[in-house]
Every structure is written in structure tokens, then in C-alpha cells.
Chain A
Amino acid sequence: MNNKFDALKDDDSGDHDQDQGSPKDSEKEKTEDKDEDQNSSRRKMVVPGAGEHPLQYNYTFWYSRRTPGRPASTQSYEQNIKQIGSFASVEQFWRFYSHMIRPGDMTGHSDFHLFKEGIKPMWEDDANKMGGKWIIRLRKGLASRCWENLILAMLGEQFMVGEEICGAVVSVRFQEDIISIWNKTASDQATTARIRDTLRRVLNLPPNTIMEYKTHTDSIKAWEDFHGLVNPSGGR
């Protein structure tokens, strides 16, 4: 499985997580500063407007895109990922969503991330580091609809797994699109099974759709293997 991803990477498609390479140490501090800024701006918690329908959690949209022409490994993941905005109600969600391009209309190597406010869309985030994700690969043309169904189910608390859900990602690649949903505890099989079943339902997936669960530790390992890093102590 990892091999397959690796192979895909070479032709500019594949699992975005593996492309979201670890920043070089020199870049790391810089991006951490940036993170500080982002964190401080995020601290101003959004609240639902009067008469709006509050969500159980606040969420933040993120967007990332790999600059064409540069090898993935040379780009900082955090460099490339941008916060789009946070919202606290159904109405506010639509405000952002309706001003954003649909995943199916995106070109190039791009990702939308929708995570609970305070959780960064990175393996290393405290909320994510013990977690994993369900991955569904989609042929071209399905991403917009599936993405919308996925995030509506997440925002509307339809997964019914308590606080387990961290966020969701849609990755637009050259030949396929990938959607994934992240949860906190990869080892909690009851939770992951429940998420899988809900996914099948809300995405209205055919029964033979291949759904793959991948722990973030595996993802990290695979990334490191690919990039020839022996010591993963950097936490990446």
C-alpha cells in the first residue's frame, strides 16, 4: 500500500499526507512563528450569530497546494497550508463554503482540510498523533459531491463517535481524488468501524468501494522511509 502511494507520488499524484513533507529544520522556526500568528488570530473564537444554528464544534478550513515545478520534498508542508477561516454555525459554514471553489473544479495538486478549531491538519498535532484516517479514493468527477457529503455529516455530528473526529481532507490529484476523515484514536476499533459505516451511508458508496484505514504513525513511517530518514525523532 505504501508502495503504491510512493509510486503515485512520482507522477504528481497520491496521498497528500506523504507529500506534505516535513519542513527542513531551517524552515521550521519560521513556520512556527507563522503558526504563532495563526494561533493568536484563531484564539478569537468565532461564535454563532443570532438566530443561527450552532455547530457542536467550531471548525477551520485550510487549503494547501504544492507549487508546481518544485519537488514535493523540498517544500514545507506548513509553508503551503493556509487557514481560510473558522466558523461556528451552519450558516457561517455556508458563508465560507459558498465562496470556495469546489474540489472537483480545482486543478493541480491541492487539498482542502476541514478540522476542528484548534487541531492542525497534521499528523503531529496532539489530537492526531495517536490517530488515523479512513481513506477513499475516487475517480475524477466525484470529489465535489462526496466532499460535501462528508463534511456535512461531520459538521452535523452524524458520526456519533463523541469527540473522536478531528477533521476531513480532500486531495485533488492528477488521476484521482482522495477524501479522508481523521479521528483521534486509531486503536479504537469500535470507533473506526462506526466511522466507516457512517461514511458508507452518507457518501452513498457502492458496497465494493475500497476503504482503507491508515494510522498516522504508519503514514509518518512511510514518509520517512520514502525520504530516507532513519530517525523519526523529529516527530515528523
Chain B
Amino acid sequence: MIGSLLYYALYPLSRYMESRRLHSVWNGGAITTRSFTQSQNNMLDHWLGPGNGTKGQTEAKMKEPSPEQEDDTWRLMAVLHGTIKNEAGSKMSEGESAVKEKEAETRNGQIQDAVEAPEQGGGEITVHYEVFNTKQNTEDGSLSPTEDPNQDQASGLHLACLLTEDITQETPSPGQEKLNIPSLEKPMPPAEVTECWDEYLDPVAVGKGGESSLELICSLLLSNTQPSKVSRQHGTQAGWHFPAGPGLAEELQCPLWQFPAISYYPPVDSTVPFEVMWRVWEEVDESATAAEPFPFTKASMDFTVMSYNILADDLLQAHQVLYTHCPLEVLDWSYRCSLLLEEIQKWKPDILCLQEVQENHYHEQLYPALSQMGYTCVYKRRTGTKTDGCATCYRSSCFSDISVTTLEFFRPGIEQLDRHNVGIIVLLQPVVMHGSEVKAKGSLLCVANTHLLFNPRRGDVKLAQLAIMLAEIDSVVKSCEAKGEHCNLILSGDFNSVPSMPLYQLITTGELYFQGLPASMISGQEDLSHRAYGHRLFAPLWPSSLGITDRCQYTSVYKEVSKRESQKSGKGQYSHDFMRQLRFCPAACIRPLDLQLIPGVTDITSEASRVNQPDKSFSHTISHRLDLESVYKHVLPGFGNPEVTTLHSEGAATVDYIFYSPRCTSVWDQNAGDFASKGLKLIASLSLLSEEVLWSMKGLPNHIFPSDHLSLLARFQVDLNAA
């Protein structure tokens, strides 16, 4: 039987996959698998609908006003790259970049087909039955004009694969399917299927089990055989849209893997150079967001935000030791630039926050290319001698800008702000254009982009830089509030700090008790606790002359004063509050040299020590009032391997983030006479990868990813109001 043949043929491959941290492979596999046969799956869902109620569930989960449209949505999910020959697959490879609608047609046809299928099996799923049906469907599909590649693979291999898929697919409830595919074990299949399924999990199982696992592998391979492109139909359960067109699959295109001469890993059987790139859209668990108490439909707009540290060439050259693992050609800027632009072109983020953008590259290459893609760009070079900076770009067709602020963190005379990092904050108005006319508007969106200091020992600097960023965001929010408008937040960039460490905590929990913390611990980038003489943090973290409180807000008087100062020349006018804020500034804690010592009168030991008592206003905590949550949760589904956003020869870590203000419960808005939901609804994020997987691609940068960071990409939804 074909299955057993395949089993033997592919056995080495399965071993290989095992050797590569099986679980992560399988995670990807699970997703891929699902996505691969999504069309079939959907079809089966519908077909099985009457029997097991899957369809009903699906519909219940539909939140979008037009489910039919949703049905049309096809998603490109993931690519498994391999050299297994599957002529059908490769031949049809172009097919799957097909436009949604056409695919939808195809799929509808399939559904009908499926529905017409004689046996409405319900939970009773037998292998043969499925094979039969899938085959039928596949044939139908192949007749359709836009040939869904999935169906084109009408070989036995396919069928086996489809079989697996279908079982996998139909068993989990749609809710469970989302994001929740951490491991293959997770889905709870109906009783009939369970047995098989368990066996599928055992890659080296024999007999039926062996076949099953083989089939699973087949499915992986099949998706591989489609050169890098797998379309995924994201049916109704998902309720989110992906751009039509080339999309992700192309992005993930991995040219036949060419192992350079030097490899960290012993070359795998060269006949099976099997490489996997799973940067796939992962939906947010619907169960979490489904709790929304008002399931009314409201016009909404989806947009995507990408944060990307693109590795400035000058920095690469300056730190070549970090990239010794890379073949020289992938370090070449023009090569990296073309990969970068390709990547942006593929994902088409609506908002793009770049870091480490070298000034000349920005002006010569990136800006021209990006503006041609329809982006409006803001660039801010770092102060000092470094040649790179940050760039924030947004699609002018989706956003109009309200204000743009560029921030320099370098403040002469302030020890904690002696480094030349910068940030950009733009306030955008999401708009839906119809022709040249604005049809609808969303809540204002404040997009902050920064690249904090790298130096792991200078946590004090990072915190002060972050405080400036937060204070500026806060003032933007305030200015919106003053106009009676709500403002959603995106804070993204390279924070040079790892998850759950103090700086991260400050952002996500809104508070940090810092007194006595070693400055080197703030970011958690490296464990420097062995350093005996580490600098520790003590209040105040920055001099009050910075004009930022320990709540990461501008002192209102500070603004008031500076305003007044600018208005009239009458300098030196200060309010009590303002002056009191300076009371415990570092200068006030030092005994003046020229202070006459009068016992009992001027020998008071610095009042600061008195004030340090907890009952005083001098806080050992810094906080902020912005509600920020990370898009990424920093562990990969399944075995919980850490995600990494950057990797080079000295380590891998998550240091890049997209934080956003999450949607809170809808509230009745008197003004709008409507339920206004504040905050952003996170729809999906582009999965990150584990360190192992990245090393299996020979680290970063490589032939796919042009930087030593990965791009972060998130899809949000914001409600619209008619203009």
C-alpha cells in the first residue's frame, strides 16, 4: 500500500524531525497540518455539520456580519520546506496564491459536494470513508478553475495526508482549534477517533499506528512539497481577514536549503534537507475575547502592526563577532535590504515600526521603497555618533496623522540619560477611505516606537529612557482626553530587556519597586549578579529637573512653567508644587559645602533620609497609568519553549515587543449614543520561533530573515464610527 511505502521512504525524515526537537516541529506541524487541509476540513465540517453540530458551533462563533465573506477568507499559513518530490504539488504550487474569492468558489463547491455525500456520518468517522470523501472533494476541487493546490495533490500520499488532516480537523471544536494547538495531544477528538489519534502521536508506532504517524508526516511533507506555499482557508471560526495575494506563504518561501560549508549541526541526510519555517498567523484564543457582553456587531477595522529591528549595517560591521556563524553573503546589506523589503511587501503591515535604521540606508533605499508601497514615514536618527535610528511608517490609506513627536533621550547633565537613544511617537487617526472621502473613523491611535539602550548593566538608563517614552505617551493621551477622545496605544520596539524582568514588569504591570535593585538586573539580558560591585538603584531614579514624576508623567507644573517661560520672559516663577517636587532632588540631599555649621540649627542630617520613610511622598516605586499588554506571550505553544526575537552568536532572547492597550469591556458612551469599546482587540499575531529552530536555520541573519531580530507582527481590530 502506498501508505506503507511512504512510511519506509519517509522514516528517516521522521527521525530527523524528532532529532530536531520534535515538539517544536510538531507544533508547527500541527498548525501547518491544519492549515494545509483547511479547505477539506471546512468542507468536512460542513458536511459533518448536521451530524455533530460542528457547523452550528461554527456559526455560533461567527461574529462578523457577513459570514459568507468570512468563508471566503483564505489564509496562508505555513510552509514546510522539503525536497520530497511531489510533482502534483510542485506543479500546482502557483495555484495557492490564488485570490480568495476564487478559492472560496472552489471551496463552496467542495462543500456542496461534501454535503451531497451520501453518508452523513456524524461522529462515525472511518478512515475509508474519509478517504473516499476527501478524494471526491479533491477531485471536485481540481476541477475548479483556481485549482486549490491542496486538492491538486490527488495522489495517494495526499489522501493519506488528508485523511489525517481531516481527523485532526474535525475533532477539535473550533474554539479549541484557535491558538490552542499547542500540541497535538491537546485536541479532544470524539471517541471514535481518539484511538487513532493517540497513535498518530507516536511517530515510530507500528501497524496502524505507524501508518497514522506516517500519514501525519506525509501531511507535513506534502505541505512542503508545495514550494513554500500553503494556503489556509480560515473559515468562519476565525473571523479575521488576511490580505489576499501572495501573503505569508511566499514570505516563508525557503529556497532549497543550501547548507553552507560550515554548520553547527552535522549535516542531515543530504537527500532530505528538510527545513521548516513556521511563521504563521496565530489567532487569539476566541474564548477569551468571546466573553464580550454585547455581542452586537459594529463596523470595525483591522490593521496590522509590525515591529522590526532590522540590524543596521554599521552596527553589524562594528560587532562582527556576533555574526561569525553567518555566511558572508547573508550579511551583505543590499542582500539583507532586498529580503527586508520583500518581507515588508509580503506582510504589508499597516504600521511599521523599525529600529536600527541606518540614516543613509533610510534615505537611499528604505524611504523610497516604502513610500512607493504607500507608507508615510517618520525617521529619527539617534543623537551622538551612531548612524542609525528609528523609523515609523504607516499606510496613508488607513491612517491620517494628527501629531508626530520625536524624542531624544540624551539629556546633558543627567547621569541616567547620558546615552543617545531616541523614540518616535505618532498620533494617528484610523480612517476608512472611500475614494477621497473619509467614510469612517476609528479611535485615535498613539503609536510609540523606540530602541532602548543595549548596555545590560545600565538598567538605570533604560528605565529613565522608558520613563520619557511613557511620559510622552501619557501627555498624548491627556491631550486626547482633553478633546474628549479616547486614544488607543501601541508601544513597540526593541527594549533590550527580557520578559518578566523589572523593566518589562513596569510596562505590563504599571508598577516597579526598584529600591536597591542592581541596575544590571533591570533588563535581565544577562545574569550579572556575580558582579560584586554592581550599581544599585535608589530613589530618585532621575533628577526632578527632568520634569518627569515617578508616575512617569510630566510634572504638570513643569509644563506649566515651561509654557509660562516661553510666554513671557519672567523667569524664575515657580509654584509651590513645582518647587516641592524638587525637594529631594539629588542636589538637595548633599550638604552644601558653604553651609555654616550651627549645632542644633544647620546640622540636620539630610532630610532626604527622613523622607525616605515609607510614609513620605518619596517613593521607591515607579509606575505609570497606561494599560499595556504584550501581544506575544513569550512562550511557544506546546512545550512552552521560549520565543526569541533576537539571536546571534552570543545568545538568543526576547527583547522586542509590541505592547498595546487591550480592549476593555464595552461601555455605554453617552456622547456617541452607542456602546463604545475602548482599546484594541488583538486578533492574531505572527508566531515567533524558538532558538532551536532558528539555529536549525543557521541562526540569524540567514537567507530568509535579514536581521538578527525577527519581525513582530500583530493584527488588531478597532471599532469604527461613521464619519
Contacts and interface: CB of A to CB of B under 8 A. Distances in A.
B596 A54 contact: no
A187 to B, nearest CB: 25
SS class of chain B's interface: helix, strand, loop or mixed? loop
Given A99-B604, A101-B602, A152-B579, A83 B573 contact: no
A226 interface: no
A91 B545 CA distance: 9
Interface in A69-123: 82-87, 90-101, 106, 110
A57 interface: yes
Nearest to B573: A157
Given A90-B574, A92-B592, A98-B583, 13 more contacts: A50-B413, A51-B413, A52-B545, A52-B587, A53-B545, A53-B574, A63-B602, A65-B601, A84-B602, A85-B592, A94-B588, A95-B592, A106-B601
A155 interface: yes
A95 B579 CA distance: 12
Given A56-B572, A156-B575, A85 B580 contact: no
Interface in A41-67: 49-57, 63, 65
Contacts of A94: 582-585, 587-588
A107 to B, nearest CB: 8
B542 to A, nearest CB: 11
Contacts of A53: 545, 574, 582
Given A56-B572, A92-B587, A156-B575, A98 B604 contact: yes
Contact of A156 (B411, B412, B579): B579
A197 to B, nearest CB: 16
Contacts, number: 117
15 contacts: A52-B587, A57-B572, A94-B582, A94-B583, A94-B587, A95-B591, A95-B595, A98-B588, A100-B601, A106-B601, A152-B576, A153-B576, A156-B572, A157-B570, A158-B573
A138 interface: no
B598 A63 contact: yes
A101 B600 contact: yes
Nearest to B411: A51
Nearest to B575: A156
Contacts of B256: none
A6 B602 CA distance: 30
Interface of A: 49-57, 63, 65, 82-87, 90-101, 106, 110, 149, 152-153, 155-158, 202
Interface residues of B, number: 39
B571 A54 contact: yes
A154 B594 CA distance: 23
B717 to A, nearest CB: 45
B414 interface: yes
A96 B573 CA distance: 20
The 9 closest A-B pairs by CB, nearest first: A56-B572, A94-B588, A98-B607, A156-B574, A51-B413, A91-B587, A50-B413, A157-B573, A51-B545
Contact of B596 (A56, A84, A156): A84
Contacts of B571: 54, 56
A42 to B, nearest CB: 10
A202 B602 CA distance: 26
Which among B545, B579, B582, B595 has the highest number of chain A CB atoms within 10 Å? B579
A52 B572 CA distance: 11
Nearest to B570: A157
A156 B578 contact: yes
Given A51-B412, A156-B575, A157-B573, A84 B598 contact: yes
Which among A57, A65, A84, A99 has the highest number of chain B CB atoms within 10 Å? A99
A49 B580 CA distance: 18
Nearest to A49: B587
